[in-house]
């Protein structure tokens, strides 16, 4: 028997196009769910670590998302900044795809960045 996926049901895999970012709130915490150029889906904190700007409005290229504010880029797999001015990573969250649905668990940060303070 399959175990239930962890986290919050966000959307269907088909709801996110390649090189598209989707902003969602989980417990009032902004998360960006991104499909990279290879079609892989990632979930990160939606706020640039350099300035209070939503990453979901930025361009997705390869396996990175660019903040439109000052051009910082973040690796979608590791959350690491690839381009200044940002030098702090953004959190990357555990993500499961179950029956073509995307689930994100913001209580599980996979890259060592600070976990969101909820509640």
More confident: 4 or 55 = 55
Residue 73's domain is classified under what CATH number? 2.102.10.10
Number of domain units in the chain = 1
Tell me the average pLDDT across 55-60. Answer: 98
Question: b/e for 54-65, b at 16 or more Cβ within 10 A?
Answer: bbbebebeebbb
Q: Is residue 83 part of a domain?
A: yes
Q: Is residue 76 part of a domain?
A: yes
3-class SS of residue 57: helix
The domain containing residue 28 runs over which residues?
8-105
Percent of the chain scoring above 90 in pLDDT: 91
pLDDT confidence tier of residue 2, bands split at 50, 70 and 90: low
Report the C-alpha gap between 50 and 94 in whole angstroms: 23
Bridge partners for 81 per DSSP: 74
Percent of the chain scoring above 70 in pLDDT: 97
Q: Is residue 16 part of a domain?
A: yes
Report the C-alpha gap between 23 and 38 in whole angstroms: 20
Residue-wise pLDDT tens digits, 69-118 = 999 999 999 999 999 999 999 999 999 999 999 999 999 999 999 888 87
């Amino acid at each position: 028997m399959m175990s239930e996926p962890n986290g919050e049901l966000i959307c269907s895999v088909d709801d996110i196009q390649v090189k598209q970012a989707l902003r969602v709130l989980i417990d009032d915490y902004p998360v960006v769910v991104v499909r990279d150029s290879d079609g892989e889906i990632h979930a990160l904190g939606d706020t640039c670590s350099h300035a209070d700007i939503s990453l979901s409005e930025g361009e997705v290229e390869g396996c990175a998302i660019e903040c439109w504010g000052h051009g910082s880029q973040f690796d979608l797999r590791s959350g690491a900044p690839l381009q200044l001015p940002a030098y702090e990573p953004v959190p990357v969250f555990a993500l499961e795809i179950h029956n073509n649905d995307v689930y994100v668990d913001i209580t599980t940060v996979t890259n060592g960045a600070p976990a969101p303070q909820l509640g």
